[in-house]
Amino acid sequence: MEAEKLWRILTAMAVLLLAAAPHHHRAGAFQSDELLIEQEDDLGAAIGGGAGVGVGVDPVTPPRSRKRYSDAAESDSKFQFPLEHAFGDSDFSPAGTFSARLKTWSHGPQTLTKLRFSRNALTEVDKEKFQKLLQDDDFYRIRLPSNVLSPPGRDYIVSSIKARCLPRDGLDEHFVIHMDGVNILAVNYGPPGACPYPRQLKLPAKWSFNSHTILKNSEQAPRTPVFAEEISLGENGEAEVVKPPEKSFWAKYWMYVIPLGLIVMNAVTQAMNMPPEEQGGGQPQGAAPAQRGPAAVRRR
């Protein structure tokens, strides 16, 4: 298991290197699929097919990498596997081919690298069918073999999308192929961006596919934290208890300050209102005790 993990790390790193070499602005692992869209022109030209191709590999996050067995016995072989498509309920017909290199590591696991995709150009019949799909808001379906070495494997991997989601300028499609060794588990197929709900009928300006492809392997689950070391550390250095940063006066006492302010304001407004009252009332009430004497005198 340890070995397998190492191999996965290795492949991921190798693939990372390969992918990173031409794309300098590939920053983090997670942006890989985004950036590739801009690369499609040169790559497409390089392949020379009718369709644009973008291939990225979502790498396995390397948890630990100690050594590199890059010289380990390995072999790679080139091979292809087909993509087939269907319009609505029609039968599947070939739509393109994926080509990749298969790396066989000495330890057993086989991985795919350098995945390329070339799509066949749409024929007139296909275009008509596709237009019909757009009219009916029906499904455009694709399928891949579940095993890339011995297609179709146990069964085909099918995926579908409402045809109206695809047209932009051309027909934009986006594959995320979930792999496990040489097996394809699933393919997430759809437009590279959003497909807003009331799906409007829109015909593409250009009847060719812009394809983006990502290979994905399983992530490793984060390990359960074990705190044995840290507890011992805490026991040794008890004094090193990190105090929370002192808060500002306002942050600490705002709940007292605001009501106080309100009271003060209230008092002020009352004080502002008072003088006219005093004038109208005649008797300044604030001086009541002082006046008591004379008043009493008056009563007598």
Selection from 6, 33, 267 nearest residue 111 by Cα: 6
Nearer to another protein, 35 or 186 (CB): 186
Nearer to another protein, 115 or 184 (CB): 184
Q: Work out which of 50, 82, 170, 181 binds another protein, going by CB under 8 A.
A: 181
Q: Work out which of 31, 90, 188, 285 binds another protein, going by CB under 8 A.
A: 188
**DSSP string of 174-200, one letter each residue:** EEEEEEETTEEEEEEEE-SS---SS--
Three-class SS state of 245: coil
x/- map, 90-129, another protein, by CB under 8 A: ----------------------------------------
Q: Work out which of 162, 170, 207, 208 binds another protein, going by CB under 8 A.
A: 162
Q: Which residues contact 176 (CB under 8 A, 6 or more apart)?
A: 33, 58, 187, 188, 189, 213, 214, 216
CA separation for the pair 59, 259 (Å, rounded): 56
Selection from 161, 140, 143, 160 nearest residue 152 by Cα: 143
Residues 194-223 that bind another protein (CB under 8 A): 194-199, 216, 218-223
Distances (CA, A) of 83 to 39, 48, 149, 165, 188: 22, 18, 14, 19, 14
| Pairing mode, strands 55-58 and 209-216 | parallel
Asked if 178 touches another protein (CB under 8 A), the answer is yes
Q: Work out which of 227, 249, 250, 256 binds another protein, going by CB under 8 A.
A: 227
Selection from 205, 214, 153 nearest residue 184 by Cα: 153
At 6, which helix (H) or strand (E)?
A: helix 2-20
Residues forming beta bridges with residue 94, ordered by sequence position: 84
**Which among 20-28, 65-73, 178-186, 256-264 is the span making contact with another protein, rule CB under 8 A?**
178-186
Number of residues forming the site for another protein (CB under 8 A): 57
x/- map, 4-43, another protein, by CB under 8 A: -x--------------------------------------
To another protein, the closest distance from the beta carbon of 124 in angstroms equals: 26
Nearer to another protein, 33 or 119 (CB): 33
Q: Work out which of 55, 133, 134, 176 binds another protein, going by CB under 8 A.
A: 176
Asked if 225 touches another protein (CB under 8 A), the answer is yes
Residue 168 CB neighbour total at 10 angstroms: 15
x/- map, 238-257, another protein, by CB under 8 A: ----x-xx-x----------
Where along the sequence are the contacts to another protein (CB under 8 A)? 1-2, 5, 89, 137, 139, 141, 146, 153-162, 165, 174, 176, 178, 180-181, 183-186, 188-199, 216, 218-227, 230, 242, 244-245, 247, 296
